[in-house]
Structure 1
Amino acid sequence: MTKITALLEQMTLEEKIFQLMQLTPNFLSEDDANLTGPLAWMGVTESMVNNVGSVLSAVGAKETIALQKKYMENSRLGIPLLLMADIIHGYRTIFPVTLAIASTWDMELAERSAAIAAKESAVTGIHVTFAPMVDLVRDPRWGRVMESTGEDPFLNSEYARAFVRGFQGDDLAGDMDRVAACVKHFAAYGAAEGGRDYNTVNMSERQLRESYLPAYKAALDEGCEMVMTAFNTVDGIPATGNKWLMRNLLRDEWGFDGMLISDWGAVSEMIPHGVAADGAEAAQKAIEAGVDMEMMTSNYANHLKELVEAGKVDITLIDECVLRVLKLKDKLGLFENPYRAASEEREKEVLLCDEHRAAAREIAAKSCVLLKNEQVLPLRSGQKLALIGPFAESGDILGPWSIWGKQDEAVQLHAGLSARTDLIATAKGCDIDSGSEEQLQEAINAAADADIIVLALGESSEMSGEAGSRGDIRLPQSQLKLIQKLKLLGKPIVVVLFNGRPLDLHGVIEEADALLEAWFPGTEGGNAIADVLFGDVNPSGRLTMSFPYSVGQVPVYYNNYNTGRPLTPQNANERYVSKYLDMPNAPLLPFGYGLSYTSFSYGEVSLSTDELHAEDTLEVSVEVTNTGVVAGGEVVQLYVRDIAGEVVRPLKELKGFRKLQLQPGETEKVTFLITEEQLRYYHTDLQLKSDAGEFHVFVGPNSRDLEAKPFRLVK
């Protein structure tokens, strides 16, 4: 820190302020168009560009090396650029979208995917990735659910840790194949009202702490170097200018001393939010909240100097921010080697190498969730297939955040199946959201001689992701019409879904004989899906978001509260209970759900004691047996309910899980440990503590199909 502090003392006020600015690479180009384009539009000067702290989204080692070289030539004090990018689920080798990776329930696979993404991005010259996104989400209308790991705070926290470990490794300074991670979006971005991106978030502090904050805290406990602010409000104040959130909670309570960056344009967005009259006030609110770097707006650069000179902003606030920026650059070793791992030669060896493709294939296969199977899958050798649908030969299987991936490098479903059999007739049948009678007839003709129809349906990548909110989360009518027409042929239909969110599956799940949720599976998607369809991989994925019966239920999630008039099997015909008149309360498919090509039976759940003392541990055991004829994986899930708390408690909360791999006839005993600490929650005084009294523990294959046992906590 002595070196960094000495450097700070040499910097002018303008140089300090410009270090707190992040721009795209085009601002640093010598193109004359910049003079009347981006530079003029944002009020960016040549001096700002020559001293800017960071650039985002540079492409490839050649560009990053050239940018850094030019920048260092103009840097009076030899301060290097910090290069950042959105590396969400892969750089060039694209893994399944994050929600799909979460469906593996496998932290080692999640960590490995992040480590490979880090290696590929580091060799291109990237220093920081804007990941992981750990926003808890309960509304599938929100397009960014594809970046999340689901609706459960415990599981989200486990994944947050795994992704940070994968990106950063054990030695960020010494391991050039790693990048700094940036957890986002702080905070509660996934709770946007109506599932509409950038919209208002409004909740109690208890709900915020209990459900939405744990995953961010887990990422920081794992050593995550950066935090990104959210676009939304928190308690009526935009996160980017929220002192309580950023200073009181993040800095003081949690002790985070790393770098805090705004999301794209979020400082300026305080003006339309209605909490800042102009850019100067927006800059003041952001710096007072402790935002170290402003992404893609120039309020700091254009106004902080005048605010300091007018006595409205203390220069110590700026110094704190600059120190954190410089500290991260130093931690990454950029002062010694501004180019870090960037190498055009090594880039050719690393990007999309065979090892990375193999990992992408394995993870994609294990992320697939079998939602229905009327003894149609796995496919058998010699069966004639009709591969039909808008995704039959589509390369749009990478997902909306696969910025650096290439669709022409992705293995399409047709290619994956063709590697297994040449008994395939192919037809599109319809486009994503339109179709013609000619296309339908082509599909019917292709299916005429087939034994089984494989129907590849779903969303285009543009239908999810950022700004991809949808009020209707059914498949488009063109696709629903296609499946209806093909159903008339009387042949078994296997639907493979490509999508970035839970869907309302009506019109699909009733018509399909088998339904495989493949998500956006990434570069090796076609091969991975073929592995599952032909049984080389027995599907073991499990949902981490509930699939709604109808969008009218949303938000619908497993860990909900009871009501004073709960719906039960006994009162289902009564009117004055908490229910819909036109649909069930329960989701179509519950959290934790997924089928296999084999079957599993659970023995009776046993407890080591029916009284848990605060200083002791309760053992929960169950025997699980593979009762089928093939080997398979099962995710054994543990839930707990506090029967009577000081405040209302969820009907059940995930507290643990175990992944088993069992041979036919094999039995394994699974034991979970429950401690008093796991039973704590935020009380009315916002203290984290437990209550003595009755609890129920549940064990089973998903959040719906569970066996319960009671116990008491004694304090």
Structure 2
Amino acid sequence: MTDPVPPDAPRAPRSPRSPRSPWSRAVRDLVAAMTLEEKAAQTSATVLPATDDGAAPVPGIGIVYVPTSTPDAPARLAAFREAGAAGDRLGIPVLPLALGPDHDRPFLPPLGRVATWDLRLAERMAASTARALRAAGLFGHLVPAGSGADRGTDASGPPAVSDPVLAATFAAARVHGAQGRTAGRTHLIDEHHVAVIAPLGVWPDGHWHERVLRTHLLAAAEAAVRAGAAAVVPSPASNAGVPTHTDVWLLRDVLRREWHFGGSVLAHPGAVGALETAYRIADGPDQAVALAMEAGVDVVGGAQVERLVALVCSGALSSWLLDDAVAAVLTVKSRLGLVAPAPATAPSGADDDEVGPAEETAARVARTAFTRSLVLLADPNAVLPLRTPRIVDVVPGTADSPDAAGLARALDAVLTRSLVRDGRAPWPEPGDVVVVVSARPEDAVRVAEGAVAAGRRCIVVVTGDRVHTLAALAATTATVLVCWRPLGEHARLLADVLTGRAEPAGRLPLALPGPAGGTAPVFPLGHGTGYTSFEYSRLAVTPAVLDGGDVVRVRCSVTNTGQRRGREVVQVYLANPTGRTVVTPEVSLAAFSTVEVAAGQTLPVTIRLPLARLAVWNRTMHHILEPGTVDVLVGRSAVDIRLRGTVTVAAHPSRRQP
């Protein structure tokens, strides 16, 4: 398309056009029929007012963000969309996206979801959330970086899930659940699903080597994109001094060329303005918008219609960049059925057991997720499961807590032969049970120490995800059970687990650090115990020598040697590679699988190990298989290894893996 400026007008440096999935003919025709102002509108965004302040909605905007705290959001959004449609010549509706933490859903925080080690359950949670969003008139959900919801309760702490394999597999599961397993990158996202907006980049600012980015910090984003995520939002931060919203290498070379991303790149709220105000690499808001769009951002945020028109007319922004951005936005809208003609509908892939009212489905899925996420970290005195204690005192860790009272009522209902009290320290009766309930492990340490010193059997229930502060609590010899979220209506489910009616089935999604200055974690990745025991046997790694093929199969047998049915998470780790040119972690998670085993039963387990898990990013940053031998470790955690084998890579070093 020809630039609407004189031939001798000054031009900005032209960025190399990056290959995307070819735009459909319908999208190309629609872009060609649009005026410059209409194109600029599609790449602009606004935020729906959270309160009724009398401000009229702004028509002619491509995306509207609806804060999750907005009262009467459906009605307010309907009025906004109606006002926009009144002045829309081409009939292209606005794309409404939720903005902010997801407070009104009954599901777990990110760490808790991954603690289930259950990918199908993660899909079901994402699908249920998608149905609720669509019922509210929303087509996606953007969780801003640093809000706490994307990193756990402590937004300044480590990433919510630090293991790249876990992060990647659960990111893909989220896409499959929210967009539908068969949506892919080109099929319609049907009326039961929403577009996934995957975070891209590192937050906060850092200085990371490319190998660290590729092998660790970008793993979840890559998995989400390859699973078909419809949109990405760059992190509002910089790496090695380059803000993500101007990082051509990340947004064009990696995202578009290597990962073949064909969706839309949405600016993180406020990030484009920060190019001028915080990073000071843009000389004014006009240059900030131009830099972001040159780098590969499609929706620059804010009502930027007039600014974008002026930039194109002055030659400061090439018109093909605007056309490219508009096509990306229209492609996402087409996939969501907002722009006709839409692609043929693909099967949604919904399970039969998920059919029904959204809230009933959400409650059912939430109950399953809660139980499967419970991680029994330590039970040194074999306190659990509770049998028939004489007295059980349920106390808050520090101040009064509704969770303590709720759990006391739930325990009273199931421990019919025990006296259950909603009390507090001190405890005059030695030898009975104290259950301490606290969202902050560090606040429960003193209470737990007092209970142990008084001769009481002590259980600490952690009702939050501040697990990085558990080291001091683990040293008290108390039983520690992590629930990841407030109990609320799930107090009865926890009571069933405490009394043995159900099993704590979760495993840690990250290694927990020990006391300050220590090198070994207090609890390793994958750790978690239950009420039964398992034995592993008959390990077979095939092929033993890898020279061709595309997958390694790890087979073993798992026997339940206890007295009750249990759920086991079989984990495969790689260790001690020889012959490589790049130093890799001593032990790294490669794959996992879950299995339900009845008491006394032995079941075979087969885990597929993709070749990419054996490849390395070499000195020239090519992802290749290098000859050598790697130990294959199978067990219950990163340190509880039950079986050991090896696989030898005989492929040539030049063989690259996707």
Indicate the TM-score class for this superposition, using the shorter chain for normalisation.
0.7 to 0.9
Matching residue's letter, 2:88: S
Alignment of 1:342-491 (within 5 A): 350=357, 352-353=359-360, 355-373=361-379, 374-381=381-388, 383-390=390-397, 394=401, 412-414=406-408, 416-421=410-415, 423-427=419-423, 442-444=424-426, 448=429, 451-459=432-440, 475-476=442-443, 479-491=444-456
Matching residue's letter, 2:193: R
More divergent stretch after superposition (522-531 vs 358-367): 522-531
Alignment of 1:265-304 (within 5 A): 265-271=270-276, 272-295=278-301, 297-298=302-303, 300-301=304-305, 303-304=307-308
Aligned to 1:13: 36
Alignment of 1:218-229 (within 5 A): 218-229=223-234
Aligned to 1:188: 202
- The 3-state SS of whatever aligns with 1:294 is coil
Alignment of 1:492-503 (within 5 A): 492-503=457-468
Q: Work out whether 1:84 is the aligned partner of 2:97.
A: yes
Query: How large is the RMSD of aligned CA atoms in angstroms?
Result: 3.3
Identify if the C-alpha distance between structure 1 residues 524 and 74 changes in structure 2 by more than 3 Å, giving closer, same or farther.
farther
Q: Distance in 1 between matches of 2:246 and 2:217?
A: 19
Q: Work out whether 1:210 is the aligned partner of 2:215.
A: yes
TM-score (norm 2): 0.83
Q: Distance in 2 between matches of 1:183 and 1:131?
A: 9
Identify if the C-alpha distance between structure 1 residues 65 and 393 changes in structure 2 by more than 3 Å, giving closer, same or farther.
farther
Q: Work out whether 1:597 is the aligned partner of 2:593.
A: no
More divergent stretch after superposition (534-543 vs 53-62): 53-62
Q: Distance in 2 between matches of 1:388 and 1:358?
A: 29
Matching residue's letter, 1:663: A
Q: Work out whether 1:692 is the aligned partner of 2:627.
A: yes
Q: Distance in 1 between matches of 2:159 and 2:542?
A: 39
> How far has the Cα of 1:241 moved from its partner?
1.5
Q: Distance in 1 between matches of 2:239 and 2:367?
A: 40
User: Which of 186, 189, 192 is 1:177 aligned to?
Assistant: 192
Q: Distance in 2 between matches of 1:674 and 1:75?
A: 51
Cα distance per residue 1:426-476 (max 9 Å; x no partner): 14xxxxxxxxxxxxxx4326x7599311100123xxxxxxxxxxxxxx614
> How far has the Cα of 1:533 moved from its partner?
1.4
Cα distance per residue 1:568-603 (max 9 Å; x no partner): xxxxxxxxxxxxxxx441110001111111112223
- The 3-state SS of whatever aligns with 2:169 is helix
Identify if the C-alpha distance between structure 1 residues 63 and 676 changes in structure 2 by more than 3 Å, giving closer, same or farther.
closer
Identify if the C-alpha distance between structure 1 residues 675 and 336 changes in structure 2 by more than 3 Å, giving closer, same or farther.
closer
Q: Work out whether 1:542 is the aligned partner of 2:507.
A: yes
Identify if the C-alpha distance between structure 1 residues 503 and 259 changes in structure 2 by more than 3 Å, giving closer, same or farther.
same
- Show structure 1 runs of 5+ residues with no match: 35-45, 190-198, 339-348, 398-410, 428-441, 460-473, 553-582
Identify if the C-alpha distance between structure 1 residues 522 and 486 changes in structure 2 by more than 3 Å, giving closer, same or farther.
closer
Whether the 8 Å CA contact 2:439–2:486 is kept in 1: the answer is: no
Q: Work out whether 1:639 is the aligned partner of 2:573.
A: yes
> How far has the Cα of 1:651 moved from its partner?
0.9
Aligned to 1:462: none
Aligned to 2:60: 51
- The 3-state SS of whatever aligns with 1:359 is helix
Matching residue's letter, 2:567: G
Whether the 8 Å CA contact 2:145–2:235 is kept in 1: the answer is: no
Q: Distance in 1 between matches of 2:230 and 2:543?
A: 43
Cα distance per residue 1:510-533 (max 9 Å; x no partner): 324311011115764323322321
Whether the 8 Å CA contact 1:93–1:352 is kept in 2: the answer is: no
Q: Work out whether 1:243 is the aligned partner of 2:239.
A: no
Aligned to 2:345: none
Matching residue's letter, 1:389: P
Q: Work out whether 1:532 is the aligned partner of 2:532.
A: no
Q: Distance in 2 between matches of 1:694 and 1:656?
A: 18
Q: Distance in 2 between matches of 1:335 and 1:138?
A: 31
Q: Distance in 2 between matches of 1:451 and 1:313?
A: 73
Matching residue's letter, 2:214: R
Q: Distance in 2 between matches of 1:143 and 1:395?
A: 24
Identify if the C-alpha distance between structure 1 residues 417 and 278 changes in structure 2 by more than 3 Å, giving closer, same or farther.
farther
More divergent stretch after superposition (215-224 vs 448-457): 448-457
Cα distance per residue 1:679-701 (max 9 Å; x no partner): 21111111111111222111111
User: Which of 156, 164, 172 is 2:167 aligned to?
Assistant: 156
Matching residue's letter, 1:179: V
Identify if the C-alpha distance between structure 1 residues 498 and 419 changes in structure 2 by more than 3 Å, giving closer, same or farther.
same
TM-score (norm 1): 0.77
Q: Distance in 2 between matches of 1:83 and 1:612?
A: 49
% identical equivalent positions: 28
Query: Number of aligned pairs?
Result: 600
Identify if the C-alpha distance between structure 1 residues 513 and 523 changes in structure 2 by more than 3 Å, giving closer, same or farther.
closer
User: Which of 77, 88, 100 is 1:75 aligned to?
Assistant: 88
Whether the 8 Å CA contact 2:99–2:144 is kept in 1: the answer is: no
Cα distance per residue 1:71-130 (max 9 Å; x no partner): 222434332111101486x67442111211101111110000001111111111111122
> How far has the Cα of 1:200 moved from its partner?
1.5
User: Which of 334, 337, 354 is 2:338 aligned to?
Assistant: 334
Whether the 8 Å CA contact 1:392–1:413 is kept in 2: the answer is: no
Identify if the C-alpha distance between structure 1 residues 147 and 56 changes in structure 2 by more than 3 Å, giving closer, same or farther.
farther
Q: Distance in 1 between matches of 2:64 and 2:179?
A: 20
Aligned to 1:61: 74
- The 3-state SS of whatever aligns with 1:493 is strand
Q: Distance in 1 between matches of 2:179 and 2:157?
A: 24
Cα distance per residue 1:177-208 (max 9 Å; x no partner): 11111111x1133xxxxxxxxx3121111221
Identify if the C-alpha distance between structure 1 residues 703 and 24 changes in structure 2 by more than 3 Å, giving closer, same or farther.
same
Alignment of 1:316-331 (within 5 A): 316-331=320-335
Q: Work out whether 1:657 is the aligned partner of 2:622.
A: no
Q: Distance in 1 between matches of 2:157 and 2:368?
A: 22
Identify if the C-alpha distance between structure 1 residues 147 and 336 changes in structure 2 by more than 3 Å, giving closer, same or farther.
farther
Aligned to 1:38: none
- The 3-state SS of whatever aligns with 1:635 is strand
Matching residue's letter, 1:80: P
Bigger RCO of structures 1 and 2 (CA < 8 A, at least 6 apart): 1
Identify if the C-alpha distance between structure 1 residues 350 and 64 changes in structure 2 by more than 3 Å, giving closer, same or farther.
farther
Q: Distance in 2 between matches of 1:650 and 1:210?
A: 11
Identify if the C-alpha distance between structure 1 residues 211 and 138 changes in structure 2 by more than 3 Å, giving closer, same or farther.
farther
Q: Distance in 2 between matches of 1:132 and 1:225?
A: 17
Aligned to 1:622: 556
Q: Distance in 2 between matches of 1:143 and 1:539?
A: 27
Identify if the C-alpha distance between structure 1 residues 681 and 200 changes in structure 2 by more than 3 Å, giving closer, same or farther.
same
